[in-house]
Amino acid sequence: MRRPLTLKDHHHEQRIFGVRLVVGVFLVLLLTGILVSRMVWLQIFEHSRYTTLSDNNRVQTQAVSPPRGLITDRDGIILAENRPDFSLEVIIEQTHDLDDLLVEVAKLVELDEGDLERFEKRRRAARRPWEPVPLRGRLTEEEIARLVVNQHRLQGLRISADPVRHYPHDILFSHVIGYVNRINAQDLDAMNLDQQRDYAGTHFYGRTGIERFYEDRLHGGVGYRQVETNARGRILRVLEEQPPVPGQDLRLRLSMRVQQAAYDALGDRRGAVVAIDPRDGSVLAFVSRPGFNPNLFVTGISHKDYSAYRNDHDNPLFNRALQGRYPPGSTIKPMLGLAGLDAGVTNWQRSIRDPGYYQLENDPHRYRDWKRWGHGRVDLHLAVVQSCDTYFYDMGFKLGIDRMHDYMNQFSIGQTTGIDLDNESQGLMPSKQWKKAFRNRPWFHGDTINASIGQGFVLATPLQLATATAITANHGKQVIPTLAGERQEVERTDLILQDESNWEKMTNAMVDVTGPKGTARIMAVDAQYPIAAKSGTAQVFSVGQDETYNEDELAERMLDHALMVSFAPADKPAIAVAVLVENGRHGGSTAGPVAREVMDAWLLDDAGKLNVPTIFADQVSAEQEPAADSSDAASKETP
Amino acid sequence: MSQREFFRQMPGQSGASLSPGLAERIHLDAPLLAGLLLLMLGGLTVLYSAGGESMELVIRQCIRFGAGLTAMFVLAQFPPRSYRFWAPVIYTIGLVLLVLVLVAGTEAKGAQRWLSIPGLGRFQPSEVMKLAVPAMVAWFFSERTLPPKLIDVVGALLLLGLPAMLIGLQPDLGTAILIAASGLVVLFMAGLSWRLIAVAVIVVVTAAPLMYFFVMHDYQRNRVDTFLNPEADPRGTGWNIIQSKTAIGSGGIDGKGWLDGTQSRLDFLPESSTDFILAVLSEEFGLIGVCVLLIMYLIIVGRGFFISWQAQDTFSRLLGSSLTMTFFIYVFVNMGMVTGLMPVVGVPLPLVSYGGTSIVTLLASFGMLMSIQTHRRLIGY
């Protein structure tokens, strides 16, 4: 097997090997040099870049959303709060088979198309590994229990609790408090950079009502938390924390008690009630019926619920109190009377004979009074008490539409009231200029006649009527209604009459409206305080053309709207109320009792005795100095 | 026979370059052993951190080291002559086993690499071939005059190509290439003409794209794609290499400190205790740590080359230099892949990475080196 060694030149072989070995050593050193230079490149030249990458890996800055401010009524009853909402999330990286998992989950909790669609979209969006993807919110206790029991089979599922807005009195405050819902890309786009940063961790955004108007105050400021996480996204420790600035709590001027009374008194009828404390403009009640359940909107309203609201003929999503434009009818007669007095076109002594209609010279058209055979001889006082149309046709014609327009503007009719809510309707107080500009038609005498009894072009919201009534109760001192203290700017000044006694006299006439011969006598039965009021009935001239009603419904919806404005106690007003009942026919009998309920709720104490509450500012300062009160009481006991 | 007897009879006669101490007498090479033990100790330190301070991992690694050292000790006792004698036999058995693996092997991770032998458990024939192929090629050349003639080169290529191909079919391209490389090193050391080397280099360079498109499996192609552009899929296949470079780069010059490497401790670095353990070392001990590691490897490689240079016959020289060079190739390939210089092939960092039969094989190869060193005849110089 072995060859003779003599054939091999050992020295030659060894020399070859020696050369090759040297080359080998050289190769080793060369490759080592490459490795070292690679290391130097990575660890010295690229060091800072990779340090950043490494820190980005492990350190995450998380935005911490501030707790949203609570909303209470004036007595501290909670109207909007934050509650934990349990939602189901999936950590995709932990799942074995996502499709299987979804099938399993669907057996335990309800998953609709929308849930799966949203999940799919979020799953495909750019995200960090191990970041949970939300699958469904609003888990019920039962669903949570079912999930927990089966959790061992459902790897990758997680139940998380997040604070979510909750409205404990749901439908009662729907139109005034409004609601929050999920913040969206448009909301963020509309913000500047600072705001966007502030909303970095926020999921909800005030959408309507108080929640929207006071969004800035309720939201608060974002906080930050630097956490170290592992590759699975588990937080190992908090490195740094800057707590969020909680949103401010908001104490409304609303009174739960008055709101409830107004809501209940309206019952199932469509309509609106606005009650204002004329002393400081505080809105005490703000009701529009039918309402909706704001809680449904918070985490995303289901298609079914939303279309139910949208398709409802009663239009529950419509804020009648703020945006409903109704002919004010006779409710504006006291204000027109004051305008007529101040402009000198009438006085308290002047009287006319009312044949049951009014006619212009050289015009055969008869403008009819609501009382077919007329009121006989009527002066201003009686014209208000009995709501005589003929008197106001005559006076309004003499006053003229432009002077009428200017005076009514001072009462906020045709002007926004400046309440702290967005999208307030302006209503409409027509003028010659307006008709030319918007209708491109000249002003006719008949237009003035119609406007004199709050018909024709005149449109007002229930909020405007309540504000106008509060201004009347205040003897012309301006009232800007407010729910939480802020007001929007309005161009109105105090209305100063040449003869200030006219306020008193007009109030007396309005008190007689609730007297035995007045149109609103029903509402003052057994009242413990004098009530000044004016009823109104507004003709419904058209029904929306694209709406379909059956005949009974149509007949009902052609009925007059019933209106009532009132304030009390008449000598020292502490509440002004406007009530609108759609198709309620008679202001005195339908709207009047509602107004009375609202006034009682405010003016009477639990025992049913007259006990006029202090204005909001006094109530707050009294609460802030309880010590002073008790020491007063103590000093009384020990004289 | 008589030479060995002669050597045994003259224990006291120490040459100036050779002092047979205790280690020498039990056929261990003290410098090499010291280098290896130092490296293993350092490796265990890094492993403790990479494994999340798991003592269990360290102990299991120690057991493997123990097995490897035993294999090393046993192999060191045989004289190189017997390796030369047995090389063709073991090589042939290895080939048969490789065929058996393909026919009856057990599958793991999409590759058939294991052979279950009743009573012996599972084992990878390719590990045997890591030693058998260089020994076989060295044997082949020790029988012929050097530099090799073309016909001998072809013969050697067949000897190393056949097992490499069989292993490549498993498929285990990484091991196949490394085994082929160990044979090629022998070829190179034997004095393969530079002209042929140049031709080979040209062939490889042109063949690589063809391999990519026609020979490689999808997973292998993926690795190459990832190597060329790891950022293309940072969450998927590129994740390993990005996280590994991040770990190394963030280590800087002096590192983040032992047990303080965030990349591995927070699980961002996959396979941190096995193939990617260098990233842990680089992150925690920085450039200094990497240099110390490289120096340890160079000491071992240097000693290996020294032993080969001192070896007294062609077979020993070729085998010793091949084992040494292959060891270094392991180091280079692993470090190259972890630092993003090379595609990710599953090559562990020798004696530092956790696990595998490779530890035993590696230490066994050092046993052969020690045998070459300690069975030298005193005469002849």
Tokens of B52: 């999340």
Domain end among B163, B192, B221: B192
**B261 assigned to some structural domain:** yes
The residue in chain B having the minimum alpha-carbon distance to the alpha carbon of residue A18 is: B309
Q: Is the model's pLDDT at A28 over the cut of 80?
A: yes
Ranges of beta strands (E only) in A355-485 are 357-359, 366-368, 376-379
Angle at A230 between CA A226 and CA A235, to 5 degrees: 45
Of B245, B321, B325, nearest to A42 by CB-CB distance is B245
Q: What value does the mean pLDDT take over residues A97-104?
A: 86
Q: For residue A637, name the pLDDT band (cuts at 50, 70, 90).
A: very low
Q: For residue A92, name the pLDDT band (cuts at 50, 70, 90).
A: confident
Q: Does A572 touch chain B (CB under 8 A)?
A: no
CB-based contact A42 B305, cutoff 8 Å: no
CB-based contact A21 B251, cutoff 8 Å: no
Domain co-membership, B245 together with B375: yes
* B151 CA to centre of own chain: 28
Q: For residues B53 and A498, give the distance between their C-alpha atoms in angstroms, rounded to a whole number.
A: 94
Domain co-membership, B258 together with B297: yes
Mean pLDDT of chain A: 87
Domain co-membership, B169 together with B257: no
Report pLDDT for B11: 43
Provide the shortest C-alpha distance from residue B336 to chain A (in Å): 7
The 10 Å CB-count burial string (b at 16+, else e) for B125-154 is bbbbbbbbbbbbbbbbbbebebbbeeebbe
Residue that has been written with the tokens 């008055």 in this structure = A258
Note the pLDDT tens digit of each residue in A462-487: 999 999 999 999 999 999 999 998 88
Q: Are strands A180-182 and A157-166 parallel, antiparallel or unpaired?
A: unpaired
Domain end among B192, B210, B240: B192
Tokens of A408: 């009514």
CB neighbourhood size of A11 (10 A): 8
Q: Is the model's pLDDT at A126 over the cut of 80?
A: no
- Cβ-Cβ pairs closer than 8 A, A with B, add up to 140
Residue that has been written with the tokens 């063809």 in this structure = B210
CB-based contact B189 A232, cutoff 8 Å: no
Write out residues 224-243 of B within 8 Å (CB-CB) of A. Answer: 235, 243
Domain co-membership, B364 together with B268: yes
3-state secondary structure of A361: coil
Please, are residues B166 and B114 in contact by the beta-carbon 8 Å criterion? no
Q: For residues A473 and A532, give the distance between their C-alpha atoms in angstroms, rounded to a whole number.
A: 9
Q: Is the model's pLDDT at A211 over the cut of 80?
A: yes
The H or E element spanning position A133 is: strand A133-136
Among A6, A11, A12, A39, most B C-beta atoms within 10 A, so best to mutate, is A39
Q: Does A85 touch chain B (CB under 8 A)?
A: no
Domain co-membership, B49 together with B82: no
**B221 assigned to some structural domain:** no
Please, are residues A109 and A139 in contact by the beta-carbon 8 Å criterion? yes
Q: For residues A412 and A578, give the distance between their C-alpha atoms in angstroms, rounded to a whole number.
A: 14
Question: What is the total residue count of chain A?
Answer: 639
**B236 assigned to some structural domain:** yes
CB-based contact B309 A21, cutoff 8 Å: yes
Domain co-membership, B264 together with B174: no
The H or E element spanning position A223 is: strand A223-229
**B274 assigned to some structural domain:** yes
Q: Nearest 5°: phi and psi at A173?
A: -110, 15
Note the pLDDT tens digit of each residue in A282-304: 999 999 999 999 998 987 787 88
Q: For residues A236 and A243, give the distance between their C-alpha atoms in angstroms, rounded to a whole number.
A: 19
Q: For residues B280 and B293, give the distance between their C-alpha atoms in angstroms, rounded to a whole number.
A: 13
Strand order in the sheet with A59-64: A59-64, A223-229, A235-242
Provide the shortest C-alpha distance from residue A308 to chain B (in Å): 45
Burial (0-12, 13-18, 19+ Cβ within 10 Å), A284: buried
* A472 CA to centre of own chain: 27
Q: For residues A201 and A61, give the distance between their C-alpha atoms in angstroms, rounded to a whole number.
A: 11
CB-based contact A24 B321, cutoff 8 Å: yes
Q: Which residues of A are catalytic?
A: 330
The residue in chain B having the minimum alpha-carbon distance to the alpha carbon of residue A48 is: B250
Q: Does B3 touch chain A (CB under 8 A)?
A: no
Q: Is the model's pLDDT at A36 over the cut of 90?
A: yes
Report pLDDT for B20: 60
Domain co-membership, B273 together with B368: yes
Name the percent of chain A lying above pLDDT 70: 93
Residue A105 vs residues A147, B130, B276: alpha-carbon distances, Å: 8, 52, 38
Which one, of A214, A188, A213, lies nearest residue A200 by Cα?
A: A188
Domain co-membership, B56 together with B87: no
Of B263, B305, B328, nearest to A54 by CB-CB distance is B263
The residue in chain A having the minimum alpha-carbon distance to the alpha carbon of residue B291 is: A36
Provide the shortest C-alpha distance from residue B119 to chain A (in Å): 36
Of A13, A18, A24, nearest to B325 by CB-CB distance is A24
Ranges of beta strands (E only) in A419-531 are none
Please, are residues A502 and A341 in contact by the beta-carbon 8 Å criterion? yes
pLDDT per position in chain B (381 positions), as tens? 444 444 444 444 444 444 567 778 888 999 999 999 999 999 999 999 998 888 999 999 999 999 999 999 999 999 999 999 999 999 999 999 899 888 877 766 666 677 776 655 567 888 889 999 999 999 999 888 888 888 999 999 999 999 999 998 887 878 898 999 999 999 999 988 899 899 989 988 888 888 888 777 777 787 777 777 776 666 566 778 888 999 999 999 999 999 888 888 887 888 888 889 999 999 999 999 999 999 999 999 999 999 999 998 889 999 999 999 999 999 999 999 999 888 877 788 999 999 767 899 999 999 999 999 998 875 444
Contacts of B251 in chain A (CB under 8 A): 43
- Give the domains, in start order, of chain A with CATH numbers: 61-251 (3.90.1310.10), 256-617 (3.40.710.10)
Question: What is the total residue count of chain B?
Answer: 381
Q: pTM to 2 decimals?
A: 0.67
**B148 assigned to some structural domain:** yes
Please, are residues A406 and A395 in contact by the beta-carbon 8 Å criterion? no
**B39 assigned to some structural domain:** yes
The DSSP string of A314-360 is T-TTS-HHHH--B--GGGGHHHHHHHHHHHTS--SS-EEEE-SEEE-
Position A62, amino acid: Q
Domain co-membership, B169 together with B295: no
Note the pLDDT tens digit of each residue in A514-563: 988 888 888 888 889 999 999 998 887 644 444 555 566 667 777 888 99
Contacts of B147 in chain A (CB under 8 A): 16
Domain hosting B124: range is: 78-192
Q: Is the model's pLDDT at A319 over the cut of 60?
A: yes
CB-based contact A31 B332, cutoff 8 Å: yes
Contacts of A13 in chain B (CB under 8 A): 145-146, 191, 314
Write out residues 10-29 of A within 8 Å (CB-CB) of B. Answer: 10, 12-14, 16-18, 20-21, 24-25, 28
3-state secondary structure of A386: coil
Q: For residues A327 and B147, give the distance between their C-alpha atoms in angstroms, rounded to a whole number.
A: 116
Tokens of A423: 């999208």
HEC readout, chain B: CHHHHHHHHCCCCCCCCCCCCHHHHCCCCHHHHHHHHHHHHHHHHHHHHHCCCCHHHHHHHHHHHHHHHHHHHHHHHCCHHHHHHHHHHHHHHHHHHHHHHHHHCEEECCEEEEEEECCCEEECHHHHHHHHHHHHHHHHHHCCCCCCCHHHHHHHHHHHHHHHHHHHCCCCHHHHHHHHHHHHHHHHHCCCCHHHHHHHHHHHHHHHHHHHHHHCCHHHHHHHHHHHCHHHCCCCCCHHHHHHHHHHHHHCCCCCCCCCCHHHHCCCCCCCCCCCHHHHHHHHHHHHHHHHHHHHHHHHHHHHHHHHHHCCCHHHHHHHHHHHHHHHHHHHHHHHHHCCCCCCCCCCCCCCCCCCCHHHHHHHHHHHHHHHHHCCCCCCC
Domain co-membership, B137 together with B85: yes
Count how many domains chain B has. Answer: 2
Q: For residue A567, name the pLDDT band (cuts at 50, 70, 90).
A: very high
Among B250, B291, B319, most A C-beta atoms within 10 A, so best to mutate, is B250
Tokens of A347: 């006085």
Q: For residues A422 and A406, give the distance between their C-alpha atoms in angstroms, rounded to a whole number.
A: 25
Q: Does A129 touch chain B (CB under 8 A)?
A: yes
Domain co-membership, B91 together with B133: yes
Please, are residues A230 and B267 in contact by the beta-carbon 8 Å criterion? yes
Contacts of A34 in chain B (CB under 8 A): 341
Q: Is the model's pLDDT at A197 over the cut of 60?
A: yes
Which one, of A190, A165, A420, A427, lies nearest residue A300 by Cα?
A: A165
Write out residues 145-174 of B within 8 Å (CB-CB) of A. Answer: 145-147
Report pLDDT for B5: 47
Q: How far apart are the first and last CA of chain A?
A: 135
Report pLDDT for A7: 56
Residue that has been written with the tokens 């109104």 in this structure = A536
**B248 CB contacts (<8 Å, ≥6 apart)?**
A39, A42, A43, A50, B278, B279, B282, B283, B338, B339
Q: Are strands A250-251 and A71-72 parallel, antiparallel or unpaired?
A: parallel
CB-based contact B339 A232, cutoff 8 Å: no
Which one, of A264, A266, A210, A220, lies nearest residue A243 by Cα?
A: A220
The H or E element spanning position A260 is: helix A256-266
CB-based contact B252 A47, cutoff 8 Å: yes
**B25 assigned to some structural domain:** no
HSE-CB for B4 with a 13 A CA cutoff: 9
3-state secondary structure of A5: helix
Q: What value does the mean pLDDT take over residues A594-606?
A: 93
Residue that has been written with the tokens 């599922």 in this structure = A157
Report pLDDT for B380: 43
Q: What value does the mean pLDDT take over residues A267-283?
A: 94
Report pLDDT for B175: 86
Domain end among B192, B217, B249: B192
CB-based contact B188 A24, cutoff 8 Å: yes
Q: Does B328 touch chain A (CB under 8 A)?
A: yes
Q: For residues A428 and B289, give the distance between their C-alpha atoms in angstroms, rounded to a whole number.
A: 84
User: Among A77-91, A366-380, A422-436, A619-633, which is the least confidently predicted range?
Assistant: A619-633
**B231 CB contacts (<8 Å, ≥6 apart)?**
B238, B242
**B142 assigned to some structural domain:** yes
Please, are residues B163 and B99 in contact by the beta-carbon 8 Å criterion? no
Contacts of B317 in chain A (CB under 8 A): 14, 17
Q: Under the phi-then-psi rule, with left for phi > 0, alpha for psi from -120 to 50, and beta for the rest, what region is A350?
A: beta
Domain co-membership, B347 together with B377: yes
